[in-house]
Amino acid sequence: MDPIAVDDELLRAWPLAKPSAQSDKEERGRTVVVGGSAEIPGAVLLAGTAALRAGAGKLTVATVQRMALAMAMALPEARVMGLPETAGGGLDASGAPLLAPLAPRINALLYGPGLQDEAAAPRFVQTLLQHLPPELPLILDALGLCAAAHVPPRAGGLLLTPHAGEMAKLCGEAKDEVQADPARCAADSARRLHAVVVLKGATTHIAAPDGRLWRHEGGNPGLATSGSGDILAGLIAGLVARGTPLEQAAVWGVALHARAGEQLAARMGGLGFLARELAAEIPHLMDTGT
């Protein structure tokens, strides 16, 4: 199947649902972002901020205990939970049940930004899945992607956001093989893992498990900066929390992320803007429809 181009025409024909004037924060959904570490504490801050900028009504951030207070001060709009830490600096699986009381009220869960301890990541997810309803959408990003093979098919769906290097690990191929045929790799992994796959790059490919495939070209080199992927993952999670289907949230998230970069580049120059500055561009872009 030839990829569908993500352009103005597609976005106009597939608009995001808008909340009614009478809606409240509960109706716009709850996002939970799980991740972070003492060495990379800002990733969940970026992702959580992006989820709120995407219109999610409520946000909870779960991170390592020793960073929880600082996170709560940096992100006063969120509820912050501190979880036990492994010796390798990751999230210990013993902390996963602490999220169980939230599970019935979560609309999207993002796991992975800023994580450390690759061995611990799958164990945390395997424990967490025991406490999540199957209809809850799950988004895996960054180190959280190493848990993808441990996630069985879910009624709520699974979404993955790898770059080429991470995709190489997911599909067992060399990075240059992924870069040579990204559409195939994304499509094959989407079918095999029963997931929507967002294979990031200068050209981003989005694949659904049923074989649908989209291609986005755009953005600018300035988006290739630390924290940019965290913004994209949080943006997608926020859209999912609002009730957007996973594949639509992926397509719109990629397009909004790229266009936020274009707006910053037009004002500030093509290189040197910060990932944290992308999130503030999102509300206006959603209002204008692109």
Mapping DSSP onto H, E and C, the string for 45-63 reads HHHHHHHHHCCCCEEEEEE
- pLDDT tens-place string over residues 16-74: 998 766 666 677 899 999 999 999 999 999 999 999 999 999 999 999 999 999 999 99
Of residues 76 and 220, which shows the higher confidence score? 76
Q: Is residue 17 in some structural domain?
A: no
Q: Are 79 and 98 in contact (CB under 8 A)?
A: no
The residue with tokens 């024909």 is 13
Dihedral over Cα of 174, 177, 181, 187: its sign: negative
The pLDDT of residue 287: 86
Q: Is residue 243 in some structural domain?
A: yes
Range of the domain at 96: 4-12+26-288
Total domains in the chain come to: 1
Q: Are 240 and 137 in contact (CB under 8 A)?
A: yes
Q: Is residue 20 in some structural domain?
A: no
Q: Is residue 259 in some structural domain?
A: yes
In order of 32, 39, 105, 116, the CA distances from 102 in angstroms are 9, 27, 6, 24
Q: Is residue 18 in some structural domain?
A: no
Look at residue 120 and tell me whether its pLDDT is greater than 90. Answer: yes
| Helix, strand, or coil (residue 80) | strand
Q: Is residue 269 in some structural domain?
A: yes
Q: Is residue 85 in some structural domain?
A: yes
Q: Are 205 and 217 in contact (CB under 8 A)?
A: no
Give the confidence band of 123 by pLDDT, cuts at 50, 70, 90: very high
Q: Is residue 21 in some structural domain?
A: no
Q: Residue 199 sits in a domain of what CATH number? A: 3.40.1190.20
- pLDDT tens-place string over residues 225-284: 999 999 999 999 999 999 999 999 999 999 999 999 999 999 999 899 999 999 999 999
How many other C-beta atoms are found inside a 10 Å radius of the C-beta of residue 124?
25
Look at residue 6 and tell me whether its pLDDT is greater than 70. Answer: yes
- pLDDT tens-place string over residues 168-192: 999 899 999 999 999 999 999 999 9
The pLDDT of residue 24: 61
The pLDDT of residue 3: 93
